[in-house]
Amino acid sequence: MATILDGNSIASQIKDEVAAQVKELASQNIRPGLAALLVGEDPASEIYVRNKVRACEQLGVFSEKISPPASSTTEQVLAIIDGLNQREDIDGILVQLPLPPHVDSKRVLLAVCPEKDVDGFHPVNVGNLSTQRPGLTPCTPSGIMEILRRSGIEISGRAAVVLGRSDIVGKPIAMMLMNANATVTVCHSRTVDLPAYTSSADILVAAIGKAAIVKPEMIKPGAAVIDVGINRLMDKNKVQEYFRDDPKRQEEFAAKGSTLIGDVHPRAVEVAGAITPVPGGVGPLTIAMLMANTVKAARLRRGLAVQ
């Protein structure tokens, strides 16, 4: 049976380290600051932003939530970004996606100053990652690397396969693994004979957004499997199929009418050497790395060494 890689425990370690850095910066009269921009009142986005603001409060990071109405135009949102770019007390700017359909998301994200781009989406930061220069990197892929490193999983020289080519997870984690000297293959929805690739992977990162697409027989015995997928399962028959040996999941489904499942089949634990659970695997690392990026931005903007 696979070792379960506990994302909550690793996220807690990182938050403790961030809190220590915040205290150290406080001795120099520096308080890292994060601005969260939430346009409109999307319920899911409200929860995400609330969790991020709560994490700031816990770690001593200054936070400010800006909530213009959903009717805001692209120009009005750009004006808010411009103001935040100029504020010395704001080190990180978080634009909560999705934005309302009439707002040009690409223009808004591009308007964020690269030095304050704590999501790591700006082309300047993408270029820094590509060329191994200091900069801010996307939170979820950074969290994946922390899971691998802190769990003692060898990366250098290993064969890594990434399922998914999104700008948010797939492409940056492929780049990070290459930078760590893994031999990386990126697969996606058009890949022919997916099992031929996945079954050769020492490290398999599944970020393709399809429930249980990675079956146990597609995994190399002993591989490290990182499941980034978060899919809501609402079909009773599928719940019985995937979680027939998991009474807790069946009880959750009976109570809520749904349960979460990753991109990896639950029985992959019988083949993999190590695996992240869903929930409780990669997810907790995303906010932890956002906090780490905010402190990193505060240090980089002031010419301080990054820890």
Residues recognised as catalytic = 52, 96, 119
For the chain, the straight-line distance linking the first and the last C-alpha, in angstroms and rounded, comes to: 36
DSSP character string of 76-118: HHHHHHHHHHH-TT--EEEEPSPPPTTS-HHHHHHHS-GGG-T
Strand pairing category for 62-66 and 92-95:
unpaired
3-state secondary structure 272-287: CCEECCCCCCCHHHHH
Q: Which of 64, 61, 55 is nearest to 35 (CA)?
A: 64
Neighbouring CB atoms inside 10 A of 107's CB total 13
Q: Which of 213, 256, 251, 215 is nearest to 234 (CA)?
A: 256
Residues 6+ apart with CB under 8 A from 271: 2, 216, 217, 219, 221, 223
Tokens matching residue 187: 């697969």
Whether 296 contacts 136, CB under 8 Å: yes
At residue 274, what are phi and psi to the nearest 5 degrees?
-150, 145
Residues 6+ apart with CB under 8 A from 28: none
Whether 19 contacts 60, CB under 8 Å: yes
